[in-house]
């Protein structure tokens, strides 16, 4: 009697037939399989000639013969080691507690790396490489949609508009930027409220409400203008588009076959991620503005003063949730950042605003 | 204008539809052909009915068992977490292997009458489809971001391609599944798919959604009646009335829950206000949250009711010619409880409970399903088809067009 002989029971199906025949299989150490069927037929076959499904959990193993007949046998450690010749496959990791614990720790790290480091780095490299004509096209399309849906001609005194434009054009010259072609627009808008925004080709729009909010203070408006210039100069729009495309593709790739309630989490995670990206861009533009204001002999406190006006307009709750759910950093933090930059405190700011 | 119509691919209900709309004076030959096919099918049907009756009453039943799901959460967790890690480390390449392992885990752990389902897809098939799907998705997103009009055009093209996407992905899904060494399959009928997935939904919208339950029924009918097992076909006998009943009743549940939570919220708000309790704002906030919770629970019950009702109807009225009869008894409240607890599990574990959630779901639906396998299954012969391609399947996944055939 051969000690290495393994005997198992299995279900045998002939190719193209659903009829199940009971089978008895004998595995020999030499790699030979002897199959005895209930209908009194028997044959032998070598392990090399059959295809065997990988080990997975405790699933039965499926042995497909060259003629597409199928034998299904229960998985057990003896059978499995005979079938695999003792070689390790991926299921080795799946049943190793060490590998599983390592995975639990590495997966969040890996996701953090992909979404917080790899994708932003890729987007920063990609943004300046987008051809000028694509940027122009994109801007024109967005601008024409905005003009049609939410922007009206400005009701601000034309002289003031022209004064600001002239001053800002010479400031742009002073700042010595890569990008020179800026278009400054004033528009009335109910949708945007008090706001200023920059489009990727260098179009910068100020709303009438913003001018009213800061009492037509030119210094503050200039500070906000330089902030918007920062967005253009650092290709933020294109970078954010690239980041959001890459994030969507990555998320649908990694979690594509997940549906139902899990999508709620993915949606939330995706919103939070994209908020982190936009907050990052705001900080960069803020710091750009502060530096340029100082370089050109202006007062960085003007930026803090502008932010102060915003915070009076819409007081916000400063909690963790707010930080996650908002596309902009907390105004309070932005004021503090500007104060730190100019080595001042809130009292200095209050005094500065009063003396205006 | 004249062209040949192959009525041999039509089902009974489609033939009846065609007969009632055809111009019998202009096309007498066609009308006759349709009528004779209807009669032939009707006599087949009645034979089958009696066959089915005699078979079951003859206790010619191979097995009558609840579907058994043998997977367990802990085992699947290990597979799942290793899958995710390897997928990230290989920059996504491994995801195709991961998908195959996941699907195999769920299919092959599903046991019907002491035999398991088998999953046959090869990773390379999945990988090819996945690469194409990602490229398509990226193209769409780039278009939509830089040329909003272009993005809209891409969406229109996808909508127009729906019949192909549905047919190819269904065929892939079905072809990759076998039971007792016999493959399932799906008959691709693009013309009918165009009618069901493009024209009917447009009709549904034009009718101000009044026709939508009927559209849903037509969609389910199309999906099931084109499924095959070896040389046998699936025969669904669905009723439009049941789809309307499911829609109206679940709508009613949703409506009642909205009204109820509104009333509760209103009464409490009024009470808090009139008594003038300190911190009434905080208290009001708490009750707003309670009202919201009631509302969400109501919606959960409504959607569970619909899912259970339709699943039971479809399963209880579908059979595989001479091979199997299905019975489904999903109950609304246990289903709602499952969904709710799964939601909490995911939330509290930050997603790590996902494998247990999936296994719980598989257990639940298996437990609610009984399959009567008839002895005639031994005479089923495998049908030979060319290999299906995973592309359409992946496109569906990446664009998140969910076809619920659970």
Dihedral (CA of B313, B316, B317, B319) sign: positive
Are the beta carbons of A8 and A27 closer than 8 angstroms?
A: yes
**Measured between alpha carbons, how far is A282 from A293 in angstroms, rounded to an integer?**
16
Q: Averaged over A183-198, what is the pLDDT? A: 89
Q: Averaged over A154-175, what is the pLDDT? A: 90
Q: Which of B367, B380, B352, B404 is nearest to B111 (CA)?
A: B367
Q: Averaged over A53-60, what is the pLDDT? A: 92
* Whether the model pTM is above 0.90: no
Out of A56, A57, A259, closest to residue B402 by CB: A259
Out of A19, A95, A138, closest to residue B78 by CB: A95
Q: Averaged over A98-107, what is the pLDDT? A: 93
User: Residue B211's pLDDT is what?
Assistant: 94
User: Residue A265's pLDDT is what?
Assistant: 65
Full pLDDT tens readout for chain B, 406 residues: 445 677 777 777 777 777 777 777 878 888 888 888 878 777 766 655 555 444 455 568 888 999 999 999 999 999 999 999 998 899 888 988 998 999 999 999 999 989 999 999 888 888 887 887 788 888 888 888 777 778 888 888 888 888 988 888 888 889 889 999 999 999 989 999 999 999 999 999 999 999 999 999 999 999 999 999 999 999 999 999 999 999 999 999 999 988 888 887 777 777 766 766 556 566 667 777 777 888 888 999 999 999 999 999 999 999 998 899 999 999 999 999 999 999 899 889 988 899 999 999 999 999 999 999 998 898 898 865 444 555 555 554 444 333 322 2
Q: Which residues of A touch B377 (CB under 8 A)?
A: 18-19
User: Residue B280's pLDDT is what?
Assistant: 58
User: Residue A262's pLDDT is what?
Assistant: 58
DSSP H or E run through A79: helix A77-84
User: Residue A257's pLDDT is what?
Assistant: 56
- Tell me if A134 and B146 make a contact (CB, 8 A cut-off): yes
**Measured between alpha carbons, how far is B303 from B295 in angstroms, rounded to an integer?**
12
Separation of first and last alpha carbons in chain B: 42
**Measured between alpha carbons, how far is B282 from B196 in angstroms, rounded to an integer?**
52
| Chain A, chain B: beta-carbon pairs less than 8 Å apart | 151
DSSP H or E run through A138: helix A132-149
Out of B88, B141, B179, closest to residue A110 by CB: B88
| CA angle, residues A76, A80, A86, in degrees to nearest 5 | 140
Q: Above 50 in pLDDT, residue A165?
A: yes
- The residues facing B118 across adjacent strands are B178
Whether residue B201 lies within 8 A of chain A, CB to CB, comes out as no
Residue A16 Cα, gap to closest chain B Cα (Å): 4
- Tell me if A57 and B76 make a contact (CB, 8 A cut-off): yes
Torsion from C-alpha of A53, A84, B123, B117, nearest 10 degrees: 20
Half-sphere exposure of A193 (CA within 13 A, CB side): 3
Question: From A99, which residue of chain B is nearest by alpha-carbon distance?
Answer: B82
User: Which region among A177-191, A214-228, B137-151, B263-277 has the lowest average model confidence (pLDDT)?
Assistant: B263-277
- Longest CA span, chain A: 108
Dihedral (CA of A163, A165, A166, A170) sign: positive
**Measured between alpha carbons, how far is B340 from B349 in angstroms, rounded to an integer?**
14
Q: From start to end of B238-279, where are the E strands?
A: none
> Was domain A6-94 assigned CATH 2.30.29.30?
yes
User: Residue A318's pLDDT is what?
Assistant: 53
Question: Considering only residues 40 to 99 of chain B, which have any Cβ-Cβ distance to chain A shorter than 8 Å?
Answer: 70-71, 75-79, 81-82, 84-89, 92, 95, 97, 99
pLDDT tens, position by position, A3-30: 568 899 999 999 988 999 999 999 998 8
**Measured between alpha carbons, how far is B16 from A269 in angstroms, rounded to an integer?**
50
Q: Which residues of A touch B179 (CB under 8 A)?
A: 18
User: Residue B223's pLDDT is what?
Assistant: 95
Are the beta carbons of A240 and A200 closer than 8 angstroms?
A: no
Show the tokens assigned to B105.
């885990």
**Measured between alpha carbons, how far is A341 from A348 in angstroms, rounded to an integer?**
13
Residue B331 Cα, gap to closest chain A Cα (Å): 19
Show the tokens assigned to B18.
């065609």
Total residues belonging to chain B: 406
Spans of all domains in chain A:
6-94, 125-354
Residue predicted with more confidence, A333 or B9:
A333
Q: Above 70 in pLDDT, residue A101?
A: yes
Helix-strand-coil percent breakdown of chain A, rounded to 5? 55, 15, 30
**At A27, phi and psi to the nearest 5?**
-100, 125
Mean pLDDT of chain A: 86
Residue B39 Cα, gap to closest chain A Cα (Å): 32
User: Residue B397's pLDDT is what?
Assistant: 44
- Tell me if B75 and A57 make a contact (CB, 8 A cut-off): yes
Spans of all domains in chain B:
1-42, 120-230+386-406
- Tell me if A249 and B352 make a contact (CB, 8 A cut-off): no
- Tell me if B137 and A249 make a contact (CB, 8 A cut-off): yes
Q: Where are the alpha helices (DSSP H) in B63-195?
A: 73-89, 95-108, 123-146, 148-175, 190-194
């Amino acid at each position: 009697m051969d000690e290495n002989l393994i005997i198992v029971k299995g279900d045998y199906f002939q190719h193209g037939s659903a009829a199940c025949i009971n089978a008895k299989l004998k595995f020999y150490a030499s790699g030979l399989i002897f199959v005895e069927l209930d209908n009194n037929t028997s044959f032998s076959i070598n392990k090399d000639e059959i295809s065997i499904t990988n080990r997975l959990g405790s699933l039965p193993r499926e042995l497909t013969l060259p003629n597409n007949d199928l034998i299904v046998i229960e998985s057990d450690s003896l059978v499995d080691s005979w079938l695999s010749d003792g070689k390790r496959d991926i299921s080795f990791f799946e049943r190793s507690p060490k590998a599983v614990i390592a995975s639990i720790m590495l997966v969040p790290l890996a996701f953090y790396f992909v979404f917080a480091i790899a994708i932003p780095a890729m987007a920063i490299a990609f943004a300046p490489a987008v051809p000028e004509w694509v940027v122009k096209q994109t801007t024109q399309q967005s601008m024409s949609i905005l003009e049609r849906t939410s922007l009206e001609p400005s009701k601000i005194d034309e002289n003031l508009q022209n004064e600001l434009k002239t001053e800002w054009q010479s400031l742009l010259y002073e700042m010595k930027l890569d990008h020179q072609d800026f278009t400054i627009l004033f528009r009335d808008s109910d949708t945007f409220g008090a706001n200023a925004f920059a489009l990727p080709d260098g179009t910068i729009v100020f709303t009438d409400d913003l001018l009213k909010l800061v009492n037509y203070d030119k210094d503050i408006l200039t500070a906000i203008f330089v902030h918007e210039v920062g967005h253009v100069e650092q290709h933020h729009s294109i970078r954010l588009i690239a980041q959001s495309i890459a994030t969507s593709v990555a998320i649908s790739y990694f979690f594509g076959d997940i549906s139902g309630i899990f999508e709620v989490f993915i949606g939330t995670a995706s919103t939070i991620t994209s908020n982190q990206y936009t907050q990052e861009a705001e900080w960069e533009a803020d710091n750009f503005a502060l530096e340029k204001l100082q370089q050109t002999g202006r007062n960085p406190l003007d930026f803090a003063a502008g932010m102060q006006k915003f915070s009076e307009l819409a007081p916000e709750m400063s909690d963790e949730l707010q930080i996650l759910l908002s596309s902009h950093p907390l105004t309070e933090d932005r004021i503090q950042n500007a104060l730190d930059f100019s080595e001042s405190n809130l009292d200095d700011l209050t005094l500065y605003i009063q003396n205006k | 204008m004249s062209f040949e119509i192959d009525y041999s691919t039509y089902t009974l209900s489609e033939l009846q539809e065609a007969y009632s709309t055809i111009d019998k004076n202009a096309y007498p030959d066609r009308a006759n052909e349709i009528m004779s096919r209807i009669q032939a099918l009707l006599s087949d049907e009645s034979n089958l009915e009696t066959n089915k009756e005699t078979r079951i009453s003859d206790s010619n039943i191979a097995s009558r068992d609840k579907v058994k799901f043998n997977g367990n959460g802990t085992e699947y967790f290990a597979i799942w977490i290793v899958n995710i890690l390897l997928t990230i480390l290989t920059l996504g390449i491994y995801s195709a292997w991961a998908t195959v392992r996941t699907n195999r885990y769920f299919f092959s752990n599903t046991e019907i009458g002491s035999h398991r389902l088998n999953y046959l897809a090869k990773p390379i098939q999945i990988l090819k489809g996945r690469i194409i799907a990602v490229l398509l998705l990226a193209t769409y997103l780039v278009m939509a971001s830089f040329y909003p009009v272009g993005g809209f055009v891409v969406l229109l093209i996808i909508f127009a391609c729906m019949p192909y996407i549905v047919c190819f992905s269904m065929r892939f899904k079905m072809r990759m599944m076998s039971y007792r060494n016999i493959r399932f399959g799906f008959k691709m009928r693009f013309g009918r798919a165009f009618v069901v997935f493009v024209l009917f939904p447009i009709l549904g919208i034009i009718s101000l959604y009044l026709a939508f339950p009927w559209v849903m029924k037509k969609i389910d009918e199309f999906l099931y009646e084109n499924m095959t097992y070896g040389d046998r076909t699936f025969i669904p006998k669905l009723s439009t009335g049941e789809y309307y009943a499911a829609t109206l009743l679940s709508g009613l549940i949703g409506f009642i829950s909205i009204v109820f939570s509104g009333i509760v919220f209103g009464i409490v708000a009024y009470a808090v206000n009139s008594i003038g309790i300190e911190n009434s704002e905080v208290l009001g906030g708490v009750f707003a949250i309670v009202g919201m919770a009631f509302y969400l629970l109501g919606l959960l019950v409504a959607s569970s009711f619909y899912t259970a009702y339709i699943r039971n109807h479809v399963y209880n009225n579908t059979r595989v010619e001479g091979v199997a009869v299905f019975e489904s008894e999903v109950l609304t409240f246990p289903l709602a409880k499952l969904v709710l607890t799964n939601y909490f599990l995911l939330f509290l574990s930050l997603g790590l409970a996902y494998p247990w959630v999936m296994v719980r779901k598989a257990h639940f639906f298996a437990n609610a399903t009984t399959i009567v396998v008839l002895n005639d299954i031994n005479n089923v012969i495998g049908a030979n088809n060319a290999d299906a391609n995973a592309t359409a399947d992946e496109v569906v996944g990446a664009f998140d067009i969910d076809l619920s055939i659970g």
